[in-house]
Amino acid sequence: MSWSPSPTTAALELREVGHDYPSRDGTVPALDGITLSLDQGQHLAVVGPSGSGKSTLLRLIAGFQQPTRGTLTVHGTPVTGPGPDRGVVFQQPTLFPWLSVLANVEFGLRMAGVPRKERRERALHQLALVGLADTARMRPYELSGGMQQRVAIARALAPDPGIVLMDEPFGALDALTRERMQEELRLLWRHTRKTLVFITHDVEEAVFLGTRIIVLSARPGRIILEESSDLPYEENPRAAPGFARLRERITEAVRHAAHQAH
Ligand SMILES: Nc1ncnc2c1ncn2[C@@H]1O[C@H](COP(=O)(O)OP(=O)(O)OP(=O)(O)O)[C@@H](O)[C@H]1O
C-alpha cells in the first residue's frame, strides 16, 4: 500500500515514449520521443501550448492510457494501469457529492481495504494537512471551489502514493485562491518526499512549484527545453534573483512552441 523508494531506480522513467490517438484519417500523434527520468522527491512542472500533449503525458503516467511507443516505468516496474502508488488530482475536484468530506478522503483507503479506524485517522490527518479538519462532516457542495480542490488533494494523498500527478489543479480557481493554494502546496511538499508531476499553462506557477521544468512543443509534443531549478525551494523562490530569468527562458520557449503551432 505505502511506497518504498528504491535507492537505485528512478521514481519515474520514460524512454522514447510516444502516443498516437486514432482519428478518421488514421492517427493523430500527440506525443513523441519523450525521455525523462525523475528521482524520488523531484517536482516536475510540465508546460507547453494548448494541444502539446500535457494531459496525455499525465494520463500515460497515471496508467489511464498506454503509450503507443516506448517504455514507462515507476520504480522500475512498467506501468500497465492505475495504481495506489500514483495519486491523481484533476482540474475539477470530482468529489462524490453524496459522501461527506471525510468519506471522500477515505475513499481510496476503503477501496484498498484499510480497516475503518485506520482509514479514518489517516483521512483526518490529510484533511488537517490541507487545513480542512473542521469540514470532515460537511458535504462537498457546502465548500468553496478552493476548499473542494484541497479535499481532492487530501484524497489523492491519503493512500500515501509515492507519486502525485496534478493536471492544472488550480486552473479553475480565482487568482487569489490560486496563489494561496500554490503556497500551501509548497508547504505540503516540505513535509513529504513525494515525487510530483504538475501540468500547468502558467509559467510562473511552473517555476514556483517545479524543481525541474520541461516545455513541450506543439503537436506532437516533444521536450524542447528542460531546466533544473536551483532556486531556494525551502524559501520563497519569487524573491530569488534567478526566478525572473528562469521564467523568461521558459516563457520564450513556450512562445516559440505556440508560434510553431500556427
Ligand atoms: N481522446 C482523444 N482522441 C483524439 N485526439 C485526442 C484525444 N485526446 C487528446 N487528443 C489530441 O491530442 C493532442 C494532445 O492533447 P492533450 O489534451 O494531451 O494536450 P494538452 O497539452 O493537455 O492541451 P490543453 O493545454 O489544451 O489541455 C491534441 O491535439 C488533442 O486534440
Q: Where in the chain are the domains?
A: 12-85+163-261, 95-160
On the question of pLDDT at 122 being above 90, the answer is: yes
- pLDDT of 3 reads 52
The grid coordinates of residue 249 equal 527562458
The CATH homologous superfamily to which domain 12-85+163-261 belongs is P-loop containing nucleotide triphosphate hydrolases (3.40.50.300)
Question: CA-CA distance, 12 to 163, in Å (whole number)?
Answer: 8
Instruction: Give me ligand 1 centre to Cα 238, in Å.
Output: 31
* DSSP H helical ranges for 130-200: 145-157, 175-190
Question: CA-CA distance, 38 to 14, in Å (whole number)?
Answer: 9
What element of type H or E holds 117?
helix 116-129
On the question of pLDDT at 121 being above 50, the answer is: yes
Instruction: Give me ligand 1 centre to Cα 66, in Å.
Output: 15
The grid coordinates of residue 216 equal 513541450
Question: CA-CA distance, 44 to 211, in Å (whole number)?
Answer: 6
On the question of pLDDT at 259 being above 60, the answer is: yes
Atom 27, ligand 1: residue with shortest CA distance: 50
SS3 percent helix, strand, coil of the chain, rounded to 5, is 40, 25, 35
pLDDT, tens only, 204-248 = 999 999 989 999 999 899 999 999 887 766 677 788 888 899 999
Ligand 1 pocket, Cβ-based, cut-off 6 angstroms: 21, 28, 30, 48, 50-56, 219
What element of type H or E holds 222?
none
Question: CA-CA distance, 17 to 205, in Å (whole number)?
Answer: 26
